[in-house]
Structure 1
Amino acid sequence: MPDTPGTPGQALLEHGRLLDVLGIEGELLNETAHAIAPETPVPTCPGWTASEVVRHVGSVYRMTLSWLEHGRRPRHWQRDPAPGESVHEYLSEGRARLVGALARHDPAETAATWWPADRTYGFWRRRMAHETTIHRADLQMAAGSELTEIADDLAIDGVDEVLALWFGQRLPMLGLAGTRASSVAVRAGDQFWLVTAGAEETTAWRCSEREVLRADAVVSGRPAQVYLWLWGRAAPGSVIVEDGDDDAVGQMWALLRLATR
């Protein structure tokens, strides 16, 4: 069994902080969207414009609200602005409603989610904080503006979320797996993860430094860079691939692109 510090699947960041991040990052996203032309291409979201990114985030907020209201995966929700409503208003109104709904409930309170490891309101605080942060970065990169700093603790929680939720949970849900058995250790700050892929298993868990020795390769870097790289928002050279199996790292990265698309 893995030597797994902490509770698997649970946030590493305090839930009040995650709710604050959702509000702050949402404002930054909207400010950036106001500053660039709606038709500006967003290279990190191929085929999307700035306006489409804003619409997407507003839609995800409403999808989340439907999860919380109806207690199940929604089939229908307001996916686009109402007639006469701008995408900026659509985003702001959705964020305000979502922050209000999440703030009214203790993060430990039971809520419907798509992750068996966390069936709580806290899951949605975390998920929406990172959804918003990543898409804020998308718009800032599309605008060619300076990227607002992502704090180390937020980035480390984001690394944990993308590995545990998207790699370890989403890939098996989609029926996707690697073509060869391999393992990669990921290091960000003082936290470590072990990621395995292959026909037999697809897993990711927090691990001890000792367990890193089991990996075929090690990826490390500043927390924000590892976070953005795992989400496909940073160049390969932004992280360090220590001596090991480059193909194992390539497989992990490619599988994450399938999981997070």
Structure 2
Amino acid sequence: MERSRLLQCLAADYMRLREVAGAGLTAKVPTCLPWTVSDLVRHVGQVYLHKAEVMRIGSWPDPWPPAEVLSEHPIALLDRGYGALTHEFSRRHDTDRAKTWHNPDQTVKFWIRRMALETVIHRLDAELAHDVEAAPIPDDLASDGVAELLELFVGYASRESPDEFKPALEHAKGHAVLVRLLAPPPLSRSWLVTAANNHVAVTAVNGSPPTPPPAATVTAAPVPLLRWLWARESTPTTDAHSPIEVDGDEEAIAELRSLLQAGTQ
């Protein structure tokens, strides 16, 4: 996604998070227990401030967080963090160097993308905490979020931080699951996710179905697929048709869920 589009999405989701949080900070966040909305908003504010400081000083700030953020009102902290983050973005080009946790991409653009995707997931958390209808998520942002989760949070992270995945991989049987994102080109994509001995192999699938066939398949449009992969689904109703099509071995699906949890905890 282009810089301007990502910043547009970041701004919209920051404002939506702020709006929903204003309905009450004491509500429990069912997708991030034992957090309350106050904890959620404080977390996002601190993340914004941290990334702004990373870009400002060119390294990981240590110690972190600053003592003053612990007593700051959560929404005031969110606002201050967003202001600091977008100020640092405005001073830099996409390709300017910035310290990141993804070794192949040490650029400002990494953080623009990461903060946009961080924010949309956490505003969903706030909406679920208050049981309000989720604001629309653009298909291009959701599609990018699916790619980031599978390729970086699962595939890359399982190689770089194997200890985080060790419990899930110890019990994995190596099932292959095909994750299919259904959308008009160029957003439509597919990935084959397979637990190996010491990492998770995430392979882009183009054209013909993989051989041998996967043990299971998960198919959906961008927004429901993003929410399913992040375990941020809305509460289903008895008469609603599921937007997610899950076929194949239930054990393989459970294995995928375990790997996703390891990558997103």
Q: For residue 158 of structure 2, what is the aligned residue in structure 1?
A: 171
CA distance in 1, matches of 2:209, 2:195: 16
SS at match of 1:210: coil
| Structure 1 segment 127-142 matched on structure 2, within 5 A | 127-142=114-129
Q: Do 1:55 and 1:80's aligned partners in 2 also have CA atoms closer than 8 Å?
A: no
The more displaced of 101-110 and 202-211 is 202-211
1:1-261 counterparts in 2 under 5 A?
A: 13-35=1-23, 37-78=24-65, 82=69, 85-175=72-162, 176-177=165-166, 178=169, 179-188=172-181, 189=183, 190-213=188-211, 214-234=213-233, 238-242=243-247, 244-261=248-265
Cα offset, 1:208, TM superposition: 0.7
Identity of aligned residues (%): 34
Give yes or no for contact 1:41–1:49 (8 Å, CA) kept in 2.
yes
Question: How far apart, CA to CA, are the structure 2 residues paired with 1:28 and 1:78?
Answer: 25
Which letter maps to 2:262?
L
Give 1:80 shift: 6.7
AA aligned to 1:233 is R
Would the aligned equivalents of 1:183 and 1:194 in 2 still touch at CA under 8 Å? yes
Asked if the contact 2:56/2:88 (under 8 Å) is kept, the reply is: no
Per-residue CA deviation, residues 155-189 of structure 1 (Å, 9 max, x unaligned), is: 10000011111001222333125222122111112
- Kindly indicate whether the alpha-carbon contact (under 8 Å) linking 1:62 and 1:77 is maintained by their aligned counterparts in 2: no
More deviation, 178-187/209-218:
209-218
Find the aligned partners of 1:82 and 1:110 in 2 and give their Cα distance. 27
CA shift in 2, pair 1:79/1:160, >3 Å: farther
- Equivalent position SS for 1:148: coil
Under a length normalisation based on structure 2, what TM-score does the superposition of the two structures give? 0.86
Q: Return the alpha-carbon distance in structure 2 between the equivalents of residues 83 and 55 of structure 1.
A: 9
| TM-fit CA distance, 1:139 | 0.4
> Normalising by the residue count of structure 1, what TM-score does the alignment of the two structures yield?
0.87
**2:28–2:37 contact (8 Å) kept in structure 1:** yes
Contact 2:219 2:246 in 1 (8 A): yes
Q: 1:250 to 1:66 in 2, by over 3 A?
A: same
3-state DSSP of counterpart to 1:199: coil
C-alpha contact (below 8 Å) 2:146/2:226 kept by paired residues: yes
Count of matched residue pairs: 247
> What's the offset of the Cα at 1:215?
2.6
Note if contact 2:176-2:216 (Cα within 8 Å) is conserved in structure 1.
Answer: yes
Deviations 1:104-128 (A, max 9, x none): 2111222111012321111101110
**Structure 1 unmatched ranges of 5 or more:** 1-12
Deviations along 1:194-251, one digit per CA (max 9) or x if unpaired, are: 2121314412243213244543221111211110111111279552112x22222211
